[in-house]
Structure 1
Amino acid sequence: MDVSFCRTGVRKYPPHQVEVEAIQQKTTQIFHKVYFPDDTDQAFEVDSSTRAKDFCQNIANRLSLKSAEGFSLFVKIADKVISVPEGDFFFDFVRHLTDWIKKARPNRDGTTPSFTYQVFFMKKLWTNTVPGKDRNADIIFHYHQELPKLLRGYQKCSIEEAVQLAAYIYRVKYGEDTTKLNGQSIQYLLKELLPQDLIKTQNLNDWRKQILAAYNRDQGKTPDEAKIGFLKLIFKWPTFGSAFFEVKQTTEPNFPDILLIAINKHGVNLINPVTKEILVTHPFTKISNWSSGNTYFHMTIGNLVRGSKLLCETSLGYKMDDLLTSYISLMLTTMQKHQTLRRH
């Protein structure tokens, strides 16, 4: 069967349950709820001919984003969050995914489980993301997607940077109200403000004083300005806009067994999880092959015969695989555009 034909014309799967219900109720209007990283959601009209790319563009238009580039729809089902390929019909993808999950996980008594799913819209590829260029994207997406990575302690961050970032986060959460910083629950508050591996490096009172001083220096800033200030600071780091994966590697004797892998616009970065030092960055142009399964992710750097291999144990291989494929395909598309422009 010609795959390109599926992509352009005929749908590959029978109608999704949501479509069937709409047809039975004699309506072709289906409104689908989409969740955003800032904890808001909106309903969008989708029909059976809606492709993921059009759906993304509709969302970008509604939210007044300057561009939909790098954004993707994600379907969360069971314990997986899977990105929807932009050329796919939205409902086909959901139907295929629910069928696949049902087959993969039958109930103990042999009956078919029913799974509900949620749809998220998020930034996936950060190739051209510069804080301050698209205010709405910064406020709704970039800040809320980068914050959890900071708090998990994945990036190399100095005490001074942590203090300034904590002041921004505090302003976003609590605005002009400083009572929380003077309250008794400071140790719980710090978990919301600082990378987890840094909290113990100073006593609570020192953190409180320094964060309050940094907060007061930014008097008059709005919570939205604080979000952009936060992004502009971490934009200087080589790990800005990364997806992080903790893996067990079995091929590099000179590297720790447990590695942090950051996939971002620079390529695949291997990081020491204790020191946060980047041990090596493999640019996309040097990665010749990769594969993934339920328990692994494998990658070849350099040519297939004499190249080096990186073998990792992880349950998130499918995400690493998809990110690598997507970044490389964006890179190739961009290169083709430049070549076409040069010819003309």
Structure 2
Amino acid sequence: MELEEFSLYCIVEGDTFTMPLAREEYILDVTTELHKNQQVFYLIFCRSVWHFPLRLDSQLYVEVVFNQIAPDYLEGLLLIMPGEQLDQDVIYDIAKMAALLHRAADMTHVPTMKETKFLLPKPALTVRDVKPAQWVNMVQSNWRDVEMLTTIQSKAQVLDILSKWPLFGSSFFAVKRVSDPKERSDHILALNRHGVHFIDLVTHETLTHYPFSEVISTRKVKSEDGTLFLDMKCGNLMQQRITRLQTDQAHEISRLIRQYITMEQRLQHR
């Protein structure tokens, strides 16, 4: 396991966003302060950058990564839907994973129609090509292949399937691209080992992409009214462009970009 790809996050109950603990912070210093303030908190260890392959031979690793990835998958963030349609191969993957997710939850019976609804990514329920009854039939037909697996084997197979999807290993952020004070467009920002991607809110197709080799710098800016922005300078020595993003997660986006760039530089010098 490459520990440099993992971060320890502290989630404080009531906070909208989570932030990783900095390397120079001591866990007990942070938790003692939260205890003093009588705040409820959780410590979560999860993968933050994704340069190295999955380690599906480790049960602990599979548990950690599965619990991190499953919510994004079920929310539909990993789906790319050109024209709001699903490719046939993706439909097959979704049906197989629904059966695996059912088994991963330690279920021993065939998924029912009511249960199937909660085993599919949310956008899959709205596509016109596949009716609810068809989803149920496909999921149930996959059940025979997975019902004898252990829960950890089921989780490992889900990760193995998803690892072949283009947006697997992405950290997702809701951002507004600010061209000028009057023009603001909503996007999802996806950071993964291939770089910075601005993706469409609905189809998740990439609209703009910058490899990390083209990310020159990031700078956090706070306006007089407290609005937080991130200025991202991208390009090369001849041509550069600054993209301003309005986001409450500017610190985390900037930190992750630095982490990826540092990782790339280390790999180049190995």
SS class of match (1:197): helix
Deviations 1:5-34 (A, max 9, x none): xxxxxxxxxxxxxxxxxxxxxxxxxxxxxx
Aligned pair in 2 of structure 1 residues 198, 235: CA closer, same or farther (>3 Å)? Answer: same
Q: Which has the higher strand share?
A: 2
Structure-1 separation of matches of 2:195 and 2:205:
16
User: What is the CA distance between 1:76 and its match in structure 2?
Assistant: 1.7
Question: Kindly tell me: are residues 122 and 298 of structure 1, through their superposed partners in 2, closer, same or farther at Cα, counting changes over 3 Å?
Answer: same
Residue 146 in structure 1 maps to residue 69 in structure 2: yes
Output aligned runs, 1:225-236, within 5 Å. Answer: 225-236=153-164
* Structure 1 residues 187-336: aligned runs within 5 Å: 187=114, 189-201=115-127, 202-251=130-179, 257-292=185-220, 293=222, 295-303=228-236, 306-336=239-269
Q: Does residue 1:83 correspond to 2:15, yes or no?
A: no
Q: Check conservation: 1:151, 1:191, Cα contact below 8 A.
A: no
TM-score after normalising by structure 2: 0.81
Cross-structure match for 2:6:
71
Secondary structure, in 3 states, of the residue corresponding to 1:198? Answer: helix
Please report how far the alpha carbon of residue 170 of structure 1 lies from its aligned counterpart in structure 2 after TM superposition: 1.1
Q: When the two structures are aligned, how many residues end up with a matched partner?
A: 249
| Aligned-partner SS, 1:301 | strand
Give, in angstroms, the shift of residue 304 of structure 1.
7.6
Specify the SS of the correspondent of 1:205: helix
Aligned-pair CA distance for 1:90: 3.1
1:128 matches 2:33:
no
Instruction: Check conservation: 1:288, 1:302, Cα contact below 8 A.
Output: yes
The Cα RMSD (Å) is 2.7
- Deviation string, structure 1 residues 178-236 (Cα, Å, up to 9, x no partner): 2xx23xxx34x344311111113233221111100012133422221111111111111
Cα contact 2:76–2:121 (8 A) shared by 1: yes
User: Percent of pairs identical after alignment?
Assistant: 22
Q: Which secondary structure does the structure 2 equivalent of 1:147 belong to?
A: helix
What SS does the aligned partner of 1:231 have? helix
Gaps of 5+ in 2: 81-85
Return the offset for 1:163.
Answer: 0.9
1:245 and 1:261 in contact (8 A); partners too:
yes
Task: Give 1:117 shift.
Answer: 3.1
Q: Cα distance, 1:94 vs. partner?
A: 5.4
| Pair 1:177 & 2:100 matched | no
Choose the corresponding residue for 1:118, options 29, 42, 49: 42
- Say whether the 8 Å CA contact 1:74–1:122 is kept in structure 2: yes
Q: How far apart, in 2, do the equivalents of 1:154 and 1:137 lie?
A: 22
User: Following TM superposition, by how much is the alpha carbon of 1:166 offset from its aligned partner in structure 2, in angstroms?
Assistant: 1.0
1:145 maps to amino acid: Q
- Inter-partner Cα distance in structure 2 for 1:240 and 1:133: 19
Contact 2:103 2:147 in 1 (8 A): no
Query: Which consecutive aligned stretches of 4+ in structure 1 deviate over 6 angstroms post-superposition?
Result: none
Letter in 2 for 1:146: I
